[in-house]
Structure 1
Amino acid sequence: MKWYSIFLFLLIASCKGENTQLDISQTIVEDDWQANWITTQSPLPKKNAWLAFRKSFQHKKDTISTVLRLAVDSKYWLWINGELVVFEGGLKRGPTANDTYYDKVELTQALQDGENTISILVWYFGKEGMSHKSSGKAGLIAELYQGESLILQTNDSWKAIIHPAYIPESENPQPNWRLPESNIVFNAIKDIPNWIRSDFDDSKWPSANIICQGECPPWNQLVKRPIPFWKDYGLKSYENAISFPFLSKGDTIKCKLTYNTQVTPYLKVKTKAGRKITMLTDNYKGGSEYNMRAEYITKDGEQQYESLGWINGHVMYYIIPEGVEVLDLKYRETGYDTEFSGSIHVDDDFYNRMCKKAVRTLYVTMRDNYMDTPGRERAQWWGDVVLESGEAFYALDRSADALMKKGMLELMNWQRKDSTIFSPIPTGNWDKELPGQMLMSVGYYGFWNYYLNTGDLETIKKVYDPVKKYLSLWKIKEDGTLTVRKGGWTWGDWGTNRDVPILINTQYYLALKGYANMAEALEQQKEADSVRKQMVSFKKAFNRVFWKGDYYRSYKYKGKTDDRSQGLAVVAGLADPDKYDAIYKVLQTQKYASPYMEKYVLEALYQMGYPDYALERMKERFSKMVRDTTYTTLWEGWGIGAEGFGGGTTNHAWSGGGLTLLYQYAAGIAPTSRGYETFQVKPQPGFLKHIKATVPSIKGDIKVELKNEETYMLDINVPENSKALVYIPSKYNKIKMNGEKVIYTEEEGYKLFEVSSGAYQIEARQ
């Protein structure tokens, strides 16, 4: 029996229970690359190649900022004088379908006066994937500046070899076709000890081979990394107590991680040469197809090793041959550099647990790009991104915004000559348009929601014309509704009873709404007015054609009434209040949406004024995954594996929509103008009696605490340069703020008043 068969058996069981003087005569500008792309003289493997580069040079230390900029395909690790400076640099290609990202690394403090050595290990994927477009060639380009002076660059004075310890081919199984990464196999017998150190003798290493100069094919234009370097939490011990040292009897050691996260496994052992240790997680086949694993072939004696390609899961398995003395096992957690600055707590712990799992799921699906899942493809599907970014605006600090901005620019920079857009991108092996997801991405919940939360008009300017081109592809039929474009995959959603024409029509209307708002923000008022006029006609036609008296249904659809389409009609603004009672009745009985679309169904309930049932349905639908004690993350479907959708992954950020709804509707905090210049506090607590929330907005922390009992108590902290419109339910007649009577206006169901920055205690009585 193969080792992986043994592992899967165990997994199922466990889940159930030259030196160079400085030349400072050259100065360069930010986008003018003087350096050469370099590689090794030896022929490289077609894929999964590891290259080692070294360069020693003289440096006069100064207080002037000294910065290295460099690019590779695909990833790199950087040491200065033997000290690690960057753990996994580089971003998967590409910012466009042809170009490459580069990094800027601050080295002012890392460099010393006199001789210095730069050592760079490059991992070339050489393989297409759903999150990476391979250039087809391994290479490195680097330039070191002191201020604006170019003092070092890649050329044939650098040393370069194929790192002999990394084995490009591994035994089957291989990672599934969606992943550009390969299994990592390291043979310590062939290792080059201390090659990263300054005192290492590289005189026998061959010179690097120059490929071309500056921004040249196949890497083309170099675009500055738009997101932070990863946060490195350092080496950690596993959660379960393991007594070291111990002698393996041919054991599979099950090491528990604190939560589902992105990790690189570490080991320290003492043994003879030639023993193979395998490292993988419980997520190795977590999305129905194989993920990555790591293998280490031992040398003689005491040794330590860290596999550099990240994997994720709740449990790390070390498959260790008999006779190996295990001295230590650890892991390094890395991830997107953001803080969990948002918080929400209510008096029903189910929702607190749901939000905790939602944040954990969100974080493990963030790195080079937003992902649907790190377990199966690590791909930037835009149906997922829309929900993920919505969660991030509430749960994370504002460094997270850069990942959404990166995704928006990539999505539109990959737009094809025929104006279609598609996801996931970046990609090397996928080109199918999912019409619904594309409409959602460019629309109200996607691009426009980014602008509302960030106030970033420059990015909206960049995507505006591409969005206009994309929407021009969609045509209106004689009856005034939308001609449904099939695209590459008319998916809609997982699950049964999908009324796809209604889904696409509602998503188109949301796209028009977002586009009209963008036009207005860019002072393209004529365009905005034209689109809004189109929206009025479209809404009339939509209701004339699809409303059947008690529900929406398309002409040829024969399935049961689709809850998703009813919910989307409400949140799009296509359904008016006179239809709410009928739609509410539908949503009480029809429950076919996947966790992805369920967010919009629940949001519709809030918008229609049914917060109690929104909470009730949320608890019913998400109960199994929230109450589960095995996983710290939310799932792709309502169950796992065969009970799930699309492979049944156990960490899928689209399932965290409930987190957004609790902040936005239960606590009632939502921006009403660009970058939180104004926002509303309009709680819909339903049966919840106590809600306490902090939102790390672009203006600063917004804090709201609601005590919803006989006396309605509402504490609000409004950050500087922001204003809040406060809504109090109409049944309360006596309203005081900081002890003084409040002057308010009224609208249906509420008394409302505006407050500027400051802290407020509001007390309302009947």
Structure 2
Amino acid sequence: MKKLILLVFLASSFVATKAQVSAENLRCNLMANPLALSSNTPRFSWQVVAKGRGIIQEAYEISVSSDSLKLADGQGDLWSSGKVNSDAASNITYAGKPLKTKSKYYWKVRVWTNKGGSAWSRTASFGTGLLNYKDWEGRWIGFDRYFPWDNEDQNRLSARYFRKEFAVNKEVKSATAYIIGLGLYELTINGKKIGDQVLAPAPTDYTQNVKYNAFDVTPVIKQGKHAIGVILGNGRFFAMRQAKPYKVKTFGLPKMLMQINIQYKDGTSATIKTDESWKGTAEGPILANNEYDGEEYDARKEFAGWDKPGFDEKKWLTAEYVQEPGGTYEPQENEFMKVMQSIAPVSIKKRSNGNYIIDFGQNMAGWVKLQVKGEKGQKLTLKFAESLKEDRSLFIENLRDAKTTDTYILKGEGTEVWEPRFTFHGFRYVEVSGYPGTPTQKDFTARFVYDDMATVGKFESSNTLLNQIHRNSWWGIASNYKGMPIDCPQRNERQPWLGDRSTVSYGESFLFNNTALYNKWADDIRYSQKADGAIPDVAPAFWRYYSDNMTWPSTLHLVVDMLYRQTGDKEVIRNNYPAMKKWLQYMESRYLDAEGVMTKDSYGDWCVPPVSAEAGRGVNADQKHPSALIATAYDYYVNNLMIRFAKLAGQDQDIAGFAAMAARSKEAFNKRFYHKEGFYGENTLTDNILPVAFGIVEEENRNRLVAQIASIINKNNGHLSTGLIGVQWLMRTLSEIGRADLAYTIASKKTYPSWGYMIENGSTAIWELWNGNTANPKMNSQNHVMMLGDLLIWYYENLAGIKSDLEEAGYKKIIMRPEMINDLSYVKASYNSVRGEIRSDWKKSGKTFTWNITVPANSKAIVYIPAGGANKVKEGNKKVSTVDGVKLLRTEASRVVLEVGSGNYSFNSEM
């Protein structure tokens, strides 16, 4: 079931003697695009933010109304939950009167805590979208044909322009625009762009589902004449490459469905819809647009005022009715892509050929906005790349056949300002040719584009390299959020590979509020599932890769697990449970041998580092090494996940079956792959780390295996030796076995292979390969996140000590146990969880340890303080045994374990 989460932040100060809190302290934040819910049973969430300690919500009341004035007057005419005795503050399902399609509603909440009650929150609003197919009153329009200037063989297709004029003769109460513009659209009314989104809507497999966007256009729809303008770009709909139809899925030529629903103050209504009254043309200034190749724009072909009333449209064509794409219409509930930063160049240098190289100082994804003044017909080109060669020319070999070039032809009318609409590039450097005069830094601005999601995590430590890796990770993750998680933003790929984001998505969640995106991606994966249960390696399945393997498709299970751990939302498990179960049964029915070994794998430990950077020079990393060991380990792990999912989803009848399969996998794994010498498989780090991480190794063999893992790392001089699979479990497992020192050594390395090696060689993001500076350019993206593995999880959960207890997920109960590593003297981190901000700021000097923590209201934390005993621990200036709200649980392994409620605490101890 779809949902819209509304976050109400109760910024109040609760005290026992005061039940009322000033309403000025309340505010309401809404999820993006709240005008279009796909469900008439929304779910409500809020955060209780309050001063003081030990604050727990004891009850809540939600009120929902059809009118904001009624709600303000205390009338919840659609639903009043009444006072509900519960500490639940998220995903509360609406249980009122039926909601109508394409309608706006208002709600508020108040809570009671053990320290008092709040006033009503400020009013928040949400809208139901077009819930039924027949709510769409228009028809699909477009031009299902090529024009003479298009070139199908070269994937060159011009943008389509459509317009419609209409008049409003009454006073308008409200107006909402709904649009499905495929592949991409830009919407204007009376010459003004509607919304600040770019590259909309979010990409999907358009034969399965298509996303529509909704906008409140009441401010621009007044009495008088109006004009709607829509430009359609190609996006993923008209595929970037169509030469391999067996591999690449394409969907046709751009098309649109749109309507504006107007409610008048006299109670009547009107609908402006796509039909034969619209006019269109493909002979506009956007000559071609392609995500891989760039955008070509001829300013001489602009038609001024085309999207305003009164434009002469006689030469335009009548819009043609076209076939619908086939997928279910759904509102986009994940965030829009937007221009999130504008970045100035750090340098502009002229080359001997007269061109200019612009350096923006950071590898990113987006495009460049330019200003230029010159003669009519002058042609300006911008070529994008991630790095430079030794001669300071662009390094473009790793782009494959992506042209990554934008072209602008001047109209010659003073200073001209332009940026593309329907493409993006992965770049740090831009080569400019044909620029009239000498460019300056103010003439070019990089536009950094990613999904409009909040940064929720901060991390700083005494190790500057760890800090830089964190910064590079942020840029790499953001660059690859494009309405779905893609693998890279620069070459002719940019695909949503499942394997790249399995555990990495969990680490990302500490940096970005990616819940809506990954809920959407789980939908994408489910839509891609075949009737027999098969799940592809890429979803949406823009590439038809159904290779069958345990690692890539099991990303659905790992993403669902991440979403539950971080939010406590069981609905994501219930939504995806049938698909996860079906896929697991599909794999086990086809590929288990008689002993229970999973025989099918496709990739193995993808991209294991060569023995040295030089040994990998020029070597193509696109090499598959299938591993039955990895496949069987994952079969065991996924069955155990399904046991937990079955309990949470109320599918208890399935538990015994999953448990039996897990037991069979464990027995088969140990029988087939364990060697009496104390190692597994080929004695690689990955082969040995998985049995420990997944709990497969028999207890009597565990210590020998742990010693073997340490030996492998030591033999590699503290370097890692894992590919994509092993690195997902490496850092946390090392901490779990008591070797956080080895994990820290790996993270702190600056020599090959390591994350630090990337930085030492000029990286400002994360490379695809450990030897990205020497590998064959066919596969060496310089902005990839798959090799982050579980590093960021380790940063926040192990170094900072911010971890949600799985038994009380969504940070209802927080485990705070930071690692004490000799060379690390401080960590300062914060994470804005679903329940509020969690802070961990610790320092150690000699035997003295100080730790400032923040626990959000409606949560509690189990705090592990390094100390020689309870009498060595103080909170403020008091012994912990005398502090209200601090409960001593036990002492263990040089740690004093406390339970604390919400609030700010300042601990100090002697270790």
Task: Bin the TM-score by the shorter chain.
Answer: 0.7 to 0.9
Match of 1:572 among 694, 702, 723: 694
1:504 is matched with which residue? 631
In the alignment, is residue 221 of structure 1 matched against residue 305 of structure 2? no
In the alignment, is residue 30 of structure 1 matched against residue 131 of structure 2? yes
1:189 is matched with which residue? 300
- Structure 1 Cα separation of the partners of residues 637 and 362 of structure 2: 36
Give per-residue Cα distances to partners, 1:676-699, cap 9 Å, x unaligned.
222211111322121111011111
Task: State the shift of 1:269 in Å.
Answer: 2.6
- Structure 1 Cα separation of the partners of residues 319 and 906 of structure 2: 68
2:276 is matched with which residue? 156
- Structure 2 Cα separation of the partners of residues 581 and 749 of structure 1: 23
The worse-fitting range, judged by mean Cα deviation, of 651-660 and 43-52 is 43-52
Q: Quick one: which amino acid aligns to residue 507 of structure 2? A: E
Give yes or no for contact 2:502–2:552 (8 Å, CA) kept in 1: no
1:7 is matched with which residue? none
In the alignment, is residue 483 of structure 1 matched against residue 598 of structure 2? yes
1:705 is matched with which residue? 841
In the alignment, is residue 319 of structure 1 matched against residue 429 of structure 2? no
Q: Quick one: which amino acid aligns to residue 571 of structure 1? A: A
Give yes or no for contact 1:251–1:322 (8 Å, CA) kept in 2: no
Task: State the shift of 1:128 in Å.
Answer: 5.5
- Structure 2 Cα separation of the partners of residues 145 and 100 of structure 1: 20
In the alignment, is residue 723 of structure 1 matched against residue 860 of structure 2? yes
In the alignment, is residue 520 of structure 1 matched against residue 647 of structure 2? yes
1:693 is matched with which residue? 829
Q: CA 1:702–1:359 in structure 2 vs 1: closer, same or farther (change >3 Å)?
A: same
Q: Quick one: which amino acid aligns to residue 117 of structure 1? A: A
Give per-residue Cα distances to partners, 1:347-384, cap 9 Å, x unaligned.
11111111111111111111121011112221111122
2:363 is matched with which residue? 260
2:614 is matched with which residue? none
Give yes or no for contact 1:250–1:320 (8 Å, CA) kept in 2: no
1:563 is matched with which residue? 685
Q: CA 1:527–1:751 in structure 2 vs 1: closer, same or farther (change >3 Å)?
A: farther
Give per-residue Cα distances to partners, 1:281-332, cap 9 Å, x unaligned.
1238363413321112333443333222221211222112677988933343
Match of 1:544 among 671, 677, 681: 671
- Structure 1 Cα separation of the partners of residues 358 and 420 of structure 2: 16
Q: CA 1:464–1:150 in structure 2 vs 1: closer, same or farther (change >3 Å)?
A: farther
2:449 is matched with which residue? 334
1:632 is matched with which residue? 764
Q: CA 1:234–1:761 in structure 2 vs 1: closer, same or farther (change >3 Å)?
A: closer
1:589 is matched with which residue? 715
Q: CA 1:594–1:686 in structure 2 vs 1: closer, same or farther (change >3 Å)?
A: same
SS in 1 for 2:383: strand
Structure 1 gap ranges (5+):
1-25, 170-174, 555-559
Q: CA 1:461–1:704 in structure 2 vs 1: closer, same or farther (change >3 Å)?
A: same
Q: CA 1:231–1:428 in structure 2 vs 1: closer, same or farther (change >3 Å)?
A: closer
Task: State the shift of 1:496 in Å.
Answer: 6.5
- Structure 2 Cα separation of the partners of residues 536 and 547 of structure 1: 16
The worse-fitting range, judged by mean Cα deviation, of 535-544 and 112-121 is 535-544
Give per-residue Cα distances to partners, 1:555-607, cap 9 Å, x unaligned.
xxxxx522112122222122344332233223333543236632422222111
Give yes or no for contact 1:249–1:322 (8 Å, CA) kept in 2: no
1:534 is matched with which residue? 661
Give per-residue Cα distances to partners, 1:687-727, cap 9 Å, x unaligned.
21211110111111110112234123222211122221222
- Structure 1 Cα separation of the partners of residues 188 and 731 of structure 2: 50
Give yes or no for contact 2:186–2:230 (8 Å, CA) kept in 1: yes
Task: State the shift of 1:615 in Å.
Answer: 0.6
- Structure 2 Cα separation of the partners of residues 54 and 234 of structure 1: 31
Give per-residue Cα distances to partners, 1:110-165, cap 9 Å, x unaligned.
43442222211101252266999532132111011236955211111111111333
- Structure 2 Cα separation of the partners of residues 440 and 468 of structure 1: 11
SS in 1 for 2:764: coil
Task: State the shift of 1:641 in Å.
Answer: 4.5
Task: State the shift of 1:670 in Å.
Answer: 1.4
Give yes or no for contact 1:354–1:626 (8 Å, CA) kept in 2: no
Give yes or no for contact 2:450–2:481 (8 Å, CA) kept in 1: yes
Q: CA 1:646–1:678 in structure 2 vs 1: closer, same or farther (change >3 Å)?
A: farther
Taking the TM superposition and a 5 Å limit, the aligned residue runs for 1:399-438 are 400-433=514-547, 435-438=549-552
Q: CA 1:234–1:492 in structure 2 vs 1: closer, same or farther (change >3 Å)?
A: closer
Match of 1:470 among 579, 583, 592: 583
- Structure 2 Cα separation of the partners of residues 129 and 407 of structure 1: 23
Match of 1:101 among 211, 229, 251: 211
Question: In angstroms, what is the RMSD of aligned CA positions?
Answer: 3.2
In the alignment, is residue 760 of structure 1 matched against residue 880 of structure 2? no
Give yes or no for contact 2:249–2:542 (8 Å, CA) kept in 1: yes
1:202 is matched with which residue? 313
Give yes or no for contact 1:729–1:750 (8 Å, CA) kept in 2: yes
Q: Quick one: which amino acid aligns to residue 433 of structure 1? A: S
1:296 is matched with which residue? 408
1:667 is matched with which residue? 800
- Structure 1 Cα separation of the partners of residues 206 and 674 of structure 2: 42
- Structure 1 Cα separation of the partners of residues 758 and 724 of structure 2: 12
Give yes or no for contact 2:190–2:228 (8 Å, CA) kept in 1: yes
- Structure 2 Cα separation of the partners of residues 504 and 162 of structure 1: 51
- Structure 2 Cα separation of the partners of residues 721 and 168 of structure 1: 54
Which structure has the highest helix share of the two? 1
Give yes or no for contact 2:379–2:409 (8 Å, CA) kept in 1: yes
Q: Quick one: which amino acid aligns to residue 220 of structure 1? A: G
Match of 1:714 among 831, 836, 851: 851
Task: State the shift of 1:431 in Å.
Answer: 2.1
TM-score (norm 1): 0.85
2:733 is matched with which residue? 604
The worse-fitting range, judged by mean Cα deviation, of 379-388 and 472-481 is 472-481
In the alignment, is residue 643 of structure 1 matched against residue 775 of structure 2? yes
Give per-residue Cα distances to partners, 1:480-515, cap 9 Å, x unaligned.
4422224xx344311269671221122222212222
Q: Quick one: which amino acid aligns to residue 405 of structure 2? A: R
In the alignment, is residue 614 of structure 1 matched against residue 743 of structure 2? yes
1:23 is matched with which residue? none
Q: CA 1:418–1:604 in structure 2 vs 1: closer, same or farther (change >3 Å)?
A: same
In the alignment, is residue 380 of structure 1 matched against residue 502 of structure 2? no
SS in 1 for 2:496: coil
Give yes or no for contact 2:838–2:854 (8 Å, CA) kept in 1: yes
SS in 1 for 2:509: helix
- Structure 2 Cα separation of the partners of residues 160 and 501 of structure 1: 56
Q: Quick one: which amino acid aligns to residue 459 of structure 1? A: V
- Structure 1 Cα separation of the partners of residues 364 and 467 of structure 2: 20
Q: Quick one: which amino acid aligns to residue 383 of structure 1? A: G
- Structure 2 Cα separation of the partners of residues 61 and 337 of structure 1: 36
2:90 is matched with which residue? none
- Structure 2 Cα separation of the partners of residues 647 and 635 of structure 1: 10
Give yes or no for contact 2:398–2:777 (8 Å, CA) kept in 1: no
- Structure 2 Cα separation of the partners of residues 96 and 39 of structure 1: 16
- Structure 2 Cα separation of the partners of residues 605 and 374 of structure 1: 32
The worse-fitting range, judged by mean Cα deviation, of 540-549 and 347-356 is 540-549
1:19 is matched with which residue? none
2:420 is matched with which residue? 307
Q: Quick one: which amino acid aligns to residue 842 of structure 2? A: L
Q: CA 1:236–1:446 in structure 2 vs 1: closer, same or farther (change >3 Å)?
A: closer
